[in-house]
Structure 1
């Protein structure tokens, strides 16, 4: 089982330690592409219109300035750097040592800057969205899609892929639909369903934690995933097609 997560928008900078070592990151075949994005991001972030070019507000000025020196910034494991609703709900720190090892092996974060990394990979805090277009790189989802398709093929082979990504990050890699289950979250009031955003992130984080911490074997099929999810939520499985992944719908009370 592999759990696919988006990065968090907000990130917690490391307070000290060594800078990122690209050769130590998972999927080193991506390093030349990471270097290209890193250079383009540094150039854009040093521009006088950097905030507008990156589509962020003035409150993130310090984050954008940090982008200009990421080669030298302290790095920390991705599970410490990524923060926010989903990652708070996953609660890596409160997992047992065995559950943490499982998380390090089973979680893939699809990143606008790094392409794909695992939880134990040490990276600096940065500010960049997959929806951004960078000079000489283009829109990042389009840039990463062919690279990730090739680089992640071996890691994904034979695995059930639990896709907890937002649509922005799902656009960067479309894994084989027959082995992928996209996780959707709805509230239901009087039989009417409504898509939620904040609670979707939280619930996806809770689902990831549940899959990492529950006893027994990890789900190996979409049906087994629904059964595992049904231990905590009202859950339904919508079968996929040749082009469309399965869908796991988690229904929250309104």
Structure 2
């Protein structure tokens, strides 16, 4: 089973990790440099538009992109560097060395700059959007840039991990791949985490979904879960399997 999670827009200020493996180089490091270099050609206003930034988030995004190539810019392994809710709940800092070795073969992270990342791949802080149209892309989007490059190696990684994909990424990440080809090639499991509303209806709540995705990913790594049916006994962030499809409902 291969787990796929989304990247985060925030990066760790301080990393605490009991165990880790040697850092690795992202497979698409050169493509990452090309995309960042192209983003630096944009004016501040164009950058703000293409990367969906606000007046508050623009300065940090500019800083991260401008220092991306600097020798002193800090690097950290991807699973430790991202600091969004999914990553907090996955809690990579508490993984054992054996967990890390398992994660290298059974976890991938999407990235609009780096394409597809292993947990140990060293990355630098950046900001990018899948719908961004950079000068080098000649009218196409970052999604379009990656689709042909990522689909085959992604399918190969899933097959190497047993042929089942546990999709715990956001919906938009499918746009990085030829998704119909992925679904034809491997088994795809996409859990849905539902919360009951005051009117009795069920819907997804973003923060709870992120918490559940992170906890489920961490549980699969720590428990070495390989069969889909084993996922049904998990209770990530208090969600319980309903027995219908891959729906989970937050317990009362």
* Short-chain TM bin: 0.7 to 0.9
C-alpha separation between the residues in 2 aligned to 1:129 and 1:14? 25
> What does residue 210 of structure 1 align with?
219
> What does residue 60 of structure 2 align with?
62
Of 193, 196, 205, 2:202 maps to: 193
| Structure 1 residue 13 displacement after superposition | 5.7
Aligned-partner SS, 1:148: helix
**Residues 119 and 101 of structure 1, relative CA distance in 2, 3 Å threshold:** same
> What does residue 231 of structure 2 align with?
225
> What does residue 148 of structure 1 align with?
150
> What does residue 161 of structure 1 align with?
165
Gaps of 5+ in 2: 16-23
**Residues 13 and 122 of structure 1, relative CA distance in 2, 3 Å threshold:** farther
| Structure 1 residue 196 displacement after superposition | 1.0
1:74-85 matches, within 5 Å, as 74-85=74-85
> What does residue 184 of structure 1 align with?
192
Aligned-partner SS, 2:125: coil
Matched residues, number: 232
RMSD: 2.7
Say whether the 8 Å CA contact 2:112–2:142 is kept in structure 1. yes
1:60-99 per-position Cα deviation (integer Å, ceiling 9, x unaligned): 2123222023122221111221001111011010222322
* TM-score after normalising by structure 2: 0.81
C-alpha separation between the residues in 2 aligned to 1:212 and 1:3? 9
Bigger strand share = 1
C-alpha separation between the residues in 2 aligned to 1:151 and 1:124? 22
Aligned-partner SS, 2:176: coil
* TM-score after normalising by structure 1: 0.80
1:38 aligns with 2:46: no
| Structure 1 residue 237 displacement after superposition | 6.0
C-alpha separation between the residues in 2 aligned to 1:38 and 1:237? 45
C-alpha separation between the residues in 2 aligned to 1:9 and 1:238? 33
| Structure 1 residue 42 displacement after superposition | 2.6
* Runs of 4+ with >6 A deviation: none
